[in-house]
Structure 1
Amino acid sequence: MKIKLPSVKSLWLQASMVVRRFPLQVLIAVAASVILCFLVALDSRNGSLNDVLIKSLLVLNFGLALLLSADLFAEARRWSAGPVWTMRLLVILLCLGLFLLLDPQVFTADKYRVVLLAFAFHLLVSFAPFTGGSGTLNDFWLYNKSLFIRFLTAALYAAVLYAGLAIALAAVDGLFAVQISYKVYLSLFSIVAAGFMTVFFLAGVPTVFVRGDLKEAYPKGLKVFTQYVLIPLMTIYLGILLVYELKIIVNGELPKGLVSMLILGYAVFGILSLLLVYPIRTQEGHGWIRLFSRFFYVMMIPLVILLLLAVWARVSRYGITEPRYLLVILALWLAFITVYFLLSRKQNIMLIPVSLCVLALLAVYGPQSASSLSRFSQQSRLKKLMASKDKEDVAQRAGVVDYLVDMHGLPALQAFTKRDLADVEQRILRATESAPRFTRLAAQKDSAFAILKVTRPHEVMRYVVLKPTGGALQVSGYDYVIPVNGYSSRTESEIGSVPVVVEHVAAGKLHLQIGTAKVVQLDLTSAFNKLSKIYQKGAASHFSGDSFSLPEQYFSLCASAAGYDYCLKLTSVSFYHGDAKPDEPEAQPAYEGYLLIRVK
């Protein structure tokens, strides 16, 4: 087999054609490459800028899929330049709106919206040229086959190109001791994956959509893969699932949650197999394929029933969340598709991507969306749990609070308190603007548990370092300074020839004694609890990582006895939230500071 490499001239002509045909898509590929390279070079501590760049990449992905769908839709109808650019402008405005509306770095619910939108927009590419009844099902299949093969080819070319260039860089590094940074390899991967691969894929997007009869030869490799690999694997999984269904019927038990994913996985690969063999499913000499095509949806009936039972078991007990919402929608969609292909004579395969695209878009915004129904379901569940005195119900409160803050932010709990949670959330976000997302989210959860007085489970932990504002320690007016910390149970020093003993006699209890004078006790627990409560209210200012600052007066514990003034100045307090009481840190947090002593 001879492989003919493309000439420089042909590559240039193809690149020029792609730019003329898809100018905005090429611009998006270049912009994505630049942003990725900038992210690689950017200091990871610059959280706010990282978030903006990552969101820009997500919206560029939306724009790529939407613009490609719009251009293919226009090409199939041979629109002139005016309407084409009008539609492109509308797509750009939509993407700008999504950029302003979505904030996946703050709200987990927006992460689901991003996934759903990306899924819907990419599905749109698969049927955009055929909306309105243009073309046949054979045309639709050939078009998507071309896209599928072109994507695999682009991925292969990109992988080979990156491997070759990376090896070349490694050779230069080894031979000339250039010391090439790992960031250079990441930048190279970004350029190849986002730039080269995208443009290469666009160069192979079909230009003809209506081809009439299926005259092209069916790819032999595709047939072999489907007939001898994919379908036999699906048959094995089907046997396992049917045996499991028989087991739960005999035992009279509800299905496990894992079975839902197995059934959906079987359905996805089974439907994919049917789509791959669609043109040859009724031809002579393909008995195994014909048998599989005929009985696949029949055998899906018991599996769909099992899936619906598994979904009902989870939702009836724990309510709806975004993942369960998607599971419910997929279960109902699978039931609909099964009934349709069993009863319909037309067997319209385009219904599969169209229906999935519509469902994904409906799940993004609106009262029927995943976010709205999940938030309402969990808020209703929390109301029942807060009113209940049952030990198990009380234990479940923390999980619901954790979910609502994680997915929807503090305002989702507004019905349970008179505090203005939107204002609390904004103060926390401003104070932690440059912090990683987990730090901001943890601060919101700390406030939620404290305000609602909900006991936190042990697995909900948060490490916090509190420091006094200002930096330099004020020691004026004192005669002696002794370093102390929470790691040493006993610290000994001297003032002249008089011994000084600082000792932790119990958790949170610090004893100070100079010579034979009366022992002075400082209550550290009270001071730590006060710091914790102030932090949970969002009053602390974030300045780095897990570190927050509060006014210096909260870090001082002073006392007088036997001719001496004592003042413990804490320079840092570190603790975990998540013990039995929501408003208390651990019994003995780690701390560092100085004991100041003044002779009266």
Structure 2
Amino acid sequence: MKFQIEKTLDNAKKNWERFPFVMLSATATYIFSILLAEIIFDTSIKETTDKARILLNYGYLIYLSGLSLVLTFAGTLFIERKKINGFSQNIPHLVLIIVLVGLFFTFPTEMNFILALKFFLWALSAHLLAAFLPFYQKDENFGFWSYNQIIFGRFLLSAVFSGVLFIGISLGLTAIQILFQISINTKIYIHLFLMCAYLHTWFFLSEIPTDFDALNEKIDYNQSIGILTKYILLPLTSLYMLILYAYSIRILIDMTLPKGWVVYLIVAFSIAGIFALLMIYPLQNEKNEGWINIFTRTFYIALMPLLVLLFISIGVRISQYGFTENRYYVVLLGVWLLGMCVHYAIFRRYDQIKIIPLSLCLMFFLSSFGPWSAFSVAEYSQKSRLYSLLAKNKGLNTAQKIIPISNVNTKDKEKIRDIISFLGDRGSIDEINQRLEKPINFTKKLSQNEKESKVLVFLQLDYKRESMVKDEKYEEIGDKKEIEENNKIINFKNESSSPFYNTKGYDYFVVYKKIDYGSIDISSLKTNIFVNEKNKLVFTIRDEKFVFNLDEEIEKNIDKLAETNEENVIILLKKNNLKVKLDINLCSYLINEKTKKLKRIDQFEAGVSWKIE
């Protein structure tokens, strides 16, 4: 026992000595995660916009420290191979930390789609960098392959160790809770999970090889990988190739265009095939592995016709709907796959496998910024489509400013709405607003969704205006008669960027969004929830129906449901043995200000918690 403890402490010491910046990054990630969990579970802190921003900032810090962990790991191994000693070996890591700290201060106060995708691309690029950076020299393919086999295996094994540790201790705590009637806070399990995740880094680093030159001399090939690849991955890859070829023949016979989703299937199949080839790289020149030799030399040739199918399919979609980030990356990966086909099938450089992670790393990283990035190309493409549709429907004046439009056909109307929504998700509504004939005065508190709504109202394409005209109750009188004197539309919205729902004391929870009287069906609980056209909240639980007058409850809370607020409005309901809590996050409704009677609910979003007593 003493020996094991000493060995564990010795390994921990070696990790800190060899990978100090990696361990510092892992420790920072762990500390920030603990602080984030504490704030989330702290019910004494009100759910305000400020709290949401604090949570988001901790999320940023966790991401950046995690990114630092991967990059410092790659940098440490590169420095070891270059045999850089003394203080000089710390300079790249210190520069990296300064860059990441500076990057933190450039992040917005509200998470958006573009930033989330950038985070993914940077993380992917960092992991690809760690895969090839230690083997920067030209003729180190065997060492490169062995190194990646080792770190991949170590990562999986460390995950197993951490997972078993977490499950084992969790079961022990649960046993104590049940047998001794001791209450254990849920936070304990969160802290335990984070600790085990932190220990994953310790386990992983403890067996990273130090003699990289020895990896070039001999490959210790794992037979399990060979069996998995030869008898499962390669046959499956061949099967998918046959399916795609059969589909290609069919569309040639029928003279039809390929379906849109086929591009994702081709990309997924191609990447899976390349991954399988990488896994069997040491066997591709073995004389007794004829099947592998054939597959290695024919895969890239067979892939070329499928890439033609990919480019035709994605080209049709781009011509119809313009570029999006998804279509951009389909094209980019298609070009990359074509380059790999030329490199391996035509020039027959089968031994040069480092080019795969190297090229992917550069491609993903470079596509995350600049005018050539996925975001810039997609935004430019969709703006061009928007202005083209507006010009077609007389939505641009002689000064090329956007003006309200009328008599728009349904197809173009939906296209314009979709584009506005697309640009809103990417934080580009302000630029569209500047093109309006009369720009809207956006306050700082307005969310992107609210800005979208105001632009659509300006264009006379908002859904509420349309629903007023189409609603059977008001069909004859139209919206001028409906919004008469004393009637007013109220738009309540929680100003917090990420609403929090407190479910303590309830057994079940779901977020309900009222869209055209849609319902939520939870088959596992035999429960259905919906708001009907009479503004009744209807619960159906195991064939028993509970009906609540939602309009009356809103009328009771009319002062709380103001146009702006920084927290949800809570409504408590009870009928028979059903207890319900509504955490209202969004509510748009028409009310008579004189009688205080609610006429209609247009939009409604709330966290619904309930329990059967």
Normalised to the residue count of structure 1, the TM-score between the two structures is: 0.75
**Equivalent residue for 1:444?**
451
Give the Cα separation in 2 of the matches to 1:420 and 1:68: 50
Change in 2 beyond 3 A, CA 1:205/1:134: farther
Change in 2 beyond 3 A, CA 1:212/1:169: closer
**Equivalent residue for 1:7?**
4
**Equivalent residue for 2:602?**
576
* Deviations 1:460-485 (CA, angstroms, capped at 9, x unpaired): 9xxxxxxxxxxxxxxxxxxxxxxxxx
Instruction: Report deviation, 1:267.
Output: 0.9
Give the Cα separation in 2 of the matches to 1:157 and 1:568: 66
Structure 1's unaligned 5+ residue stretches are 429-439, 461-505, 509-521, 558-566, 579-600
Equivalent residue pairs, number: 489
**Equivalent residue for 1:142?**
146
Instruction: Report deviation, 1:363.
Output: 0.9
Instruction: Report deviation, 1:376.
Output: 0.6
Instruction: Report deviation, 1:134.
Output: 5.6
2:95 corresponds to which of 84, 90, 95? 90
Say whether 1:101 aligns with 2:106: yes
**Equivalent residue for 1:242?**
245
Say whether 1:416 aligns with 2:413: no
Say whether 1:171 aligns with 2:175: yes
Kept after mapping to 2: 8 A contact 1:409/1:425: no
> After the TM superposition, which residues 218-297 of structure 1 pair with which residues of structure 2 at under 5 Å, given as runs?
218-297=221-300
Mean Cα displacement is larger for which, 366-375 or 64-73?
A: 64-73
Instruction: Report deviation, 1:341.
Output: 0.8
* Deviations 1:207-251 (CA, angstroms, capped at 9, x unpaired): 222236442331111111111111111111111111111111111
Instruction: Report deviation, 1:97.
Output: 2.7
Instruction: Report deviation, 1:107.
Output: 2.2
Give the Cα separation in 1 of the matches to 2:36 and 2:330: 34
Change in 2 beyond 3 A, CA 1:377/1:577: farther
**Equivalent residue for 2:358?**
354
Give the Cα separation in 2 of the matches to 1:458 and 1:414: 20
Kept after mapping to 1: 8 A contact 2:491/2:587: no
Say whether 1:453 aligns with 2:476: no
Instruction: Report deviation, 1:350.
Output: 0.7
Say whether 1:333 aligns with 2:336: yes
* Deviations 1:409-448 (CA, angstroms, capped at 9, x unpaired): 4224145315556x616341xxxxxxxxxxx343232223
Give the Cα separation in 2 of the matches to 1:10 and 1:380: 64
Mean Cα displacement is larger for which, 367-376 or 440-449?
A: 440-449
Give the Cα separation in 1 of the matches to 2:349 and 2:311: 27
Instruction: Report deviation, 1:197.
Output: 0.8
Corresponding residue SS for 1:129: coil
Give the Cα separation in 1 of the matches to 2:287 and 2:124: 36
Say whether 1:18 aligns with 2:41: no
Kept after mapping to 2: 8 A contact 1:319/1:377: yes
Query: What residue identity is the alignment partner of 2:347?
Result: S
Say whether 1:70 aligns with 2:75: yes
Mean Cα displacement is larger for which, 28-37 or 150-159?
A: 28-37
Instruction: Report deviation, 1:187.
Output: 2.4
Change in 2 beyond 3 A, CA 1:126/1:355: same
Instruction: Report deviation, 1:83.
Output: 2.0
Change in 2 beyond 3 A, CA 1:246/1:549: closer
**Equivalent residue for 2:372?**
368
Kept after mapping to 2: 8 A contact 1:107/1:406: yes
Query: What residue identity is the alignment partner of 1:253?
Result: T
1:196 corresponds to which of 196, 199, 202? 199
**Equivalent residue for 1:589?**
none
Give the Cα separation in 2 of the matches to 1:534 and 1:6: 61
Query: What residue identity is the alignment partner of 2:152?
Result: F
Kept after mapping to 2: 8 A contact 1:69/1:124: yes
* Deviations 1:11-30 (CA, angstroms, capped at 9, x unpaired): 11111111111122212222
CA RMSD of aligned residues (A): 3.3
Kept after mapping to 1: 8 A contact 2:488/2:591: no
Change in 2 beyond 3 A, CA 1:457/1:262: farther
**Equivalent residue for 2:444?**
426
Structure 2's unaligned 5+ residue stretches are 42-46, 394-407, 468-472, 476-480, 496-561, 569-583, 605-613
Change in 2 beyond 3 A, CA 1:72/1:527: farther
> After the TM superposition, which residues 113-192 of structure 1 pair with which residues of structure 2 at under 5 Å, given as runs?
113-131=118-136, 133=137, 136-192=140-196
Give the Cα separation in 2 of the matches to 1:51 and 1:302: 46
Kept after mapping to 2: 8 A contact 1:425/1:444: no
Instruction: Report deviation, 1:315.
Output: 1.0
Change in 2 beyond 3 A, CA 1:443/1:292: same
Give the Cα separation in 2 of the matches to 1:77 and 1:198: 24
Give the Cα separation in 1 of the matches to 2:193 and 2:492: 47
* Deviations 1:531-557 (CA, angstroms, capped at 9, x unpaired): 459999xx953321355899xxx9984
Instruction: Report deviation, 1:455.
Output: 3.8
Query: What residue identity is the alignment partner of 1:294?
Result: R
Query: What residue identity is the alignment partner of 1:19?
Result: W
Kept after mapping to 1: 8 A contact 2:492/2:564: no
Normalised to the residue count of structure 2, the TM-score between the two structures is: 0.73
